[in-house]
Chain A
Amino acid sequence: MVSPVYLLVVTIAAVFLVPLADRIGRSYGMSVFYAAIAAAAGLGLFWFLSLRGGAPAQNVFIAGFTGPYAIQLQLGIAESFVIVLVNTVFLLASIVLGGALIKEKAYALTLMLLMLTGINGLVLSRDLFNMFVFMELLSISTYALVAMPRNGQAFSAGFKYMIAGGLASTFFLIGTAFVYRTAGTLHLDYLLRSPELLHGGVGFAALFLVIAALLIELKPFPANGWALDVYQAGHPGVVSIITTAGTGAVLFVLYKLLPLMSVRMLQVLGGAGIVTFVFSNLVAIKQENPGRLLGYSSISQTGLVIAGMVFLRLFGIREIAVYAAVAGGLFLNHLFVKGLMFWLSERVGPRPIREWGVLAGKPLLLFLFGLAVVALSGLPPFPGFWAKWEFLKLLAANGYYPVLGFILAGSLIEVFYLFRWLGYAAVKEDHDTISPAPAVTLPMVAAAILLLAASVFFSGSLSVREPLLRLIPAAGILFYLLEPLPGRVKTVLALAASGSAAVIVLPGLSGLHLVFGIMLLGGSLVQMIAGLGSGGRRRGIYPGMVMMVYSFAGLLVTETALGFFFAWEMMTLASYLLILRGSRSARTPLLYMIFSTGGAFLILAGLITALPAGSLSSAGLGDLVFSGGTAFYLIIAGFLVKAGVVGVHLWLPGFYSEADHDVSPILSSALSKAAVAGLFIFMSLANGTVPGSDMFSVILGWIGGLTAFFGTLMAIYQEDAKRLLAFSSMGQMGYIILAASLMSTIGWTAAIYIAVTHLLFKGIMFLSVGGVVSRLNTTNMYEMGGMIKRMPLSFMTFLIGLIALSGVPPLTGFGGKWLLYSALVGKGWYMLTALALFSSAVAFLYCYRIIHSVFLGQLKTGFRAVKEASVWYLIPQFIFVMLIMIFSMVPRLLIEPISAAVGKLAGPDLLWQGNTVSHALGYWNGTTVMMVTMGVFMVPLVWLLSRVRSIQKVKQFNIVYAAERPDRPETTHYAHNFFAHYTKALGFLSLPLVRRFWEGAGEWISSIAAALRHLYSGNGQTYALQVMLYITVLYLFMR
């Protein structure tokens, strides 16, 4: 093995060689420069591989002495891990910087090399004073490089940085001196052997000063204003090195010192990390400048890494693998992502984040940016996800619930501003363009590939047993690569991919899983056919779509808690991509992401709380312990958020309605069932083990009932057809939750029955309206009308769907209502029965409103020539119509398998007698009802048909119009503000209180953020004062 000393030798030698080579020619100098960095990275990789292969750790003593007097370099697995990462990113960053460096004199190159030397030295060295020297090497070269843009901002930022950095080094030096004075050695190994040397008064102070100095270097909130100025003003390439490689080295120093710290110190340090994480994210909300925003984000991530390793140490964990999994994972994630994002900001140039729409026309850059945002938010499959899971799991296992809560809150804020930014980039089209720059793009691609490779590595090390789960992101990426293909080809491929997933997965399922499998996979599959109806490229739909379908499969197949959460998050991500593609505004996808992530965090908190003590990552869902109650309630709350119950439904109308017309049906009919599936999976897991479940049932029931009511009520006021259907879905979800909360055989049968029928009829209605909208290019119902004349088939299917929705016999909808009321009255929940009945009566209002406004009434002049919707939209509708008719004729075909899957719960069973289903209170024979209905329908029809010859078919203006003729169809069609009288009578019930609440909450958080960021006055002296005060406060806490 090559001695670690060569790592330093290579770069220092290059420091001297570069100016010489530069004399010969610019390109020679650059070549030597890159060769040295590449060599360093290569060495790191070589060591890492051999150390992983089992080679012993290397210790090198320089200057002919042995420790403690010599300069000792140690290269273990941890060091090599950091070295390889740091040097790789440094190499990539230097490539990004290439354009800027080539304009500078050779000094710039030497400064870069010195910086790298400092970084590597910090990682390798084992004694405090050497650390000081390398830190100064790093700092001074950084101070100089910050000034590279040569503008006023860069100079003042650099100067502020020097003041703060100077203070930090001062403290480090004082601390080092006192350590030497107390312990008589500066060598880490000796100090570690007898850490009690530092536990006295002076010793403590010495150690404190060292740690405080390191912490200042890591830019803790709020003593970090100077760093933010640097992030904003410095060249993104340089800044990316500071925040990734530089921070990484200092973090590693902190890691090396961890064993010296007392419990108290660790606690305070961990707290400081958490505070930094939460508040930096908070302040970032108001930030518009990309560099500074990335700065806040970097700082928060650093805080999280600090917290990660400190808490691990606090929990007494010594295995390096765990540190690698948590702190290493978080750091690696941060390293590549932040590198990527800073380089991207270099690429985009000096634009505030609102103007990042320039990326919208650049698929590769947008993809990279999206990847970075997703990875940084801690979503799967990236390392941050696995690391956070492990970290939070350990926090929960050790009872650090408040910390867990803070981390989740901070992450949520992070998700907010990152996805808002992604929204700006993806949705707002800007006519500016950015010129190609392969020197910047290539390192970004490399970073992305490395990040993905690391994801594979991390997911493997955390033993996700189910190989299918790995396919979820893989399918997404595959379909991203297939994007240049024509849309229809992609649809067929997506159908094939999803179909094969269904074929593989479904036979392995049973019981409720099978029912939901058929619903989610089958439902999506059928509706995906509609995609064939749209021409063009259809960019950005199929990666999300296929990923979503695979996530459905994953959700149902997985047997581990981690696997479930992984699939859940992938599903969220996939659906986010779909809505991002279709939405007209950035607001809807963002709202969806915030609420979904909030819900997912609740589920996450619940899952890790329920994990049995000492469990592995692969703990099965069946092993979860719900006896505490809290865990179960958290999980259910998470699913309720995802289901969009009243109070957290803010995201729902936009999400279900704004996607593409062939995607909305899947989101609204199939995806909404994923929350139901989750609800049922966990309710069956926990059934009987949760204390206080009666109260829980009642609360859940009322949540469901109120959701049904308010969803329905809001639906009747909508002017937008798709939004109306979206609110209708909310109402139907309310019924499902209400039925599920009954915890009885009939209740659950009702819930799943409603879920199945809702899938069918809402699929039909959304597809039908989608077909209409795709022809008319408007979703405002009052602009439509009379479509029955132009689109009779769409009308027919819509009508079937509508009858099924309204619950009118003889179609399937009635079965759901009947089961629901039976179960409710059987349980004794009379008020909820009445509420459900009222809601379903109100549902008639919006049913009529939409069918009248869209299909009936007056055909508008502009739409006299529109054609029937595409046949590809109609095929899935007719498939669903056929299913509805079959289930209506023989309800037994549907109810029996469902009740079999539900199994035996509390309450009476359903009894069958031929086609009559009955229970203690009532009975229903769907087949007879269907027959009778058809009979009584035929008799008058025959009579009317006998008179058909005398009847003249007339046109739309042949109406009685107070003896006048109608003026224009637009003024004759009654559609706008259809239920004005309902607003007058009950309008107070539909005031946007929920929106006001959430907007108020958002306003408050935003105001707090705005107030907090005034800490960063911009004055270097204030920053210095903040550093001093921070250290003082830290001392008071740690003492």
Chain B
Amino acid sequence: MIVKALYIVLSVALVTVWGLTLTGIVRKIVARVHGRIGPPVWQPFVDIIKNNAKRTGISHGVMFYLGPVFRIAGGMGTFLFIPVLFGSDMFSNFSFAGDVFLVMYFIFFGQLGMALGSGEGGHPYSAIAVARGLAQMSAFEVPFALSVISLAVQYDTFSVSSIVAAQQGSIFSWTMFTNPLATIAAIIAMLGMNMHSPFDVVIAPQEIPIGPPTEYQGSFLGMLHTNRGIFNGAKLILFMNLYFGGATTIPEMIVKTFCIYMISVFVGVSFPRFRTDQSIRFFLGIPTLIGVAAVILYWL
């Protein structure tokens, strides 16, 4: 029991550090693409410390107060139901508590809490951003769901660990190669999930300042930034497990998640922003068809 608790702390610490570092790295890379020097890699950590070091704060009410708590609980929870390393007892987390559907739905836990918290803030932009985010989410959920269904058909299981187990052996037994259509659909969905350009209308800073967290500051914001590390890490690990053969060692995990994240970053720096209705139609178009094709292919 205590050992497990220790493992969990270790595991969460790992993903937090790696997630935030990854953000730092990406910022650096983006800066270099722009021809800038960019912030130091550890900048996300400094930001978090700075935010928590604010001496005052404001709160609009209980739900506003709890919003970031929900958010980070959602991030940590999502992470804790995903096995991080294949075959590692230390990093298996609580993956025995549920399968891929649990993870898919737990993702919503934090988003819902955040949406509620920012809603109590009373700022119209928060609500507008949430409306955009939810609409976009409902759309990219379709190709992702189809892709997961295709995997369930392919591997005959919903269990993330079993899906990882089935991809062991050679690089060619990764889902990426055995079920490329599902992988493509999921990756496109991931672009939406990560809210990078072209799907960043939710937090469009010039239009609806920063979106849902408009009213958040200080420790609240610090918590949200911490979560960004955890949650990003969790999502990347999930994708790694489902499509890229999982990982058996921490370096392997780091390399793979980095590569996966880079897809999102590349697309992000290359494309301008979609309007909400455009992204809805986009996700329900070609990506959905790819997802359907992936399901049908394994169905037949």
Interface residues of A (CB under 8 A from B): 786, 788-789, 792, 795, 799, 803, 806-809, 814, 817-818, 821-822, 825, 828, 830-831, 833-834, 837-838, 841-842, 844-845, 847-849, 851-852, 856-858, 916, 920-925, 928-929, 932-933, 936-937, 939-941, 943-944, 947, 950-954, 956-961, 972-975, 978-979, 981-982, 984-986
Contact = CB atoms under 8 A, between A and B. Distances in A.
A932 B94 contact: yes
Given A792-B62, A857-B122, A822 B135 contact: no
Contact of A834 (B96, B135, B295): B295
Given A848-B134, A929-B97, A932-B97, A940 B72 contact: yes
B59 A922 contact: no
B61 A950 contact: no
A947 B57 contact: yes
Q: What 7 A-B pairs come out closest when comparing CB atoms?
A: A922-B158, A856-B119, A922-B99, A985-B277, A985-B280, A928-B97, A837-B145
B116 A959 contact: no
A944 B69 contact: yes
B199 interface: no
A989 to B, nearest CB: 10
B115 A848 contact: yes
Contact of A956 (B57, B60, B276): B60
B30 interface: no
A959 B209 CA distance: 12
A981 B131 contact: yes
Contacts of B59: 951-954
Contacts of B69: 937, 940-941, 944
Interface in B92-109: 94, 96-102, 105-106, 108-109
A856 B142 contact: no
B71 to A, nearest CB: 9
Contacts of B186: none
Given A831-B292, A851-B119, A972-B122, A842 B158 contact: no
Interface string B52-72: 001111111111011011101
A1039 B42 CA distance: 103
A42 B170 CA distance: 101
Given A809-B109, A952-B56, A953-B59, A844 B137 contact: yes
Given A922-B101, A959-B121, A952 B134 contact: no
B112 A856 contact: no
A956 B56 CA distance: 18
A347 B56 CA distance: 76
**In terms of DSSP, what is the predominant structure of the interface of chain B?**
helix
10 contacts: A808-B106, A842-B138, A929-B81, A929-B94, A944-B65, A944-B223, A953-B59, A953-B60, A958-B60, A985-B139
Interface in B143-162: 145-146, 149-150, 152-153, 156-159
B120 interface: yes
A825 B280 contact: no
A913 to B, nearest CB: 10
A825 B152 contact: yes
B200 interface: no
Nearest to A792: B62
B73 A837 contact: no
Interface string B107-138: 01100100110011111100110111011011
B105 A799 contact: no
B277 A984 contact: yes
Contacts of A848: 112, 115-116, 119, 130-131, 134
Contacts of B101: 817-818, 821-822, 922
B105 A814 contact: yes
A337 B135 CA distance: 55
Contact of B61 (A806, A858, A947, A953): A953
B281 to A, nearest CB: 5
B103 to A, nearest CB: 9
B76 interface: yes
A936 B112 contact: no
Contacts of A858: 122
Interface string B205-231: 000010000110011100100000000
Given A856-B119, A981-B276, A922 B159 contact: yes
B295 A830 contact: yes
Nearest to A941: B69
Contact of B280 (A924, A947, A974, A982): A982
B134 A845 contact: yes
A924 B102 contact: yes
B127 A958 contact: no
B140 to A, nearest CB: 9
B80 interface: yes
Contacts of A944: 65, 68-69, 219-220, 223
Given A809-B109, A986-B280, A928 B209 contact: no
- Which of B116, B281, B292 has the most C-beta atoms of chain A within 10 angstroms of its own C-beta? B116
Nearest to B111: A844
Contacts of A941: 66, 69
A818 B102 contact: yes
B81 A979 contact: no
Contacts of B50: none
- Which of B94, B109, B220, B284 has the most C-beta atoms of chain A within 10 angstroms of its own C-beta? B109
A892 B14 CA distance: 34
Nearest to A856: B119
Contacts of A936: 72-73, 76-77, 80
Given A845-B135, A985-B280, A986-B280, A923 B80 contact: no
A957 B122 CA distance: 8
Contacts of A856: 63, 116, 119-120, 122, 127
B131 A929 contact: no
B57 A950 contact: yes
B287 interface: no
Interface in B249-281: 275-278, 280-281
A803 B56 CA distance: 32
Contacts of B127: 852, 856-857, 974-975, 978
A632 B68 CA distance: 53
Contacts of A851: 116, 119
Contacts of A956: 60, 122
B34 to A, nearest CB: 28
- Which of A814, A852, A858, A981 has the most C-beta atoms of chain B within 10 angstroms of its own C-beta? A981
Contacts of A821: 101
Nearest to B98: A924
A940 B112 contact: no
A809 B69 CA distance: 16
B81 A786 contact: no
B128 A974 contact: yes
A928 B102 CA distance: 12
B275 A981 contact: yes
Nearest to A713: B138
A806 B105 CA distance: 9
B102 A960 contact: no
Contacts of B280: 981-982, 985-986
Contacts of B68: 940, 944
Contacts of A947: 57, 218-219
Given A838-B142, A845-B138, 6 more contacts: A814-B105, A830-B150, A831-B292, A844-B108, A933-B73, A944-B223
A413 B47 CA distance: 71
B276 A951 contact: no
Given A803-B112, A951-B57, A960-B209, A982 B94 contact: no
A925 B97 contact: yes
Nearest to B219: A947
A522 to B, nearest CB: 28
A924 B106 contact: no
A954 B60 contact: yes
A981 B134 CA distance: 11
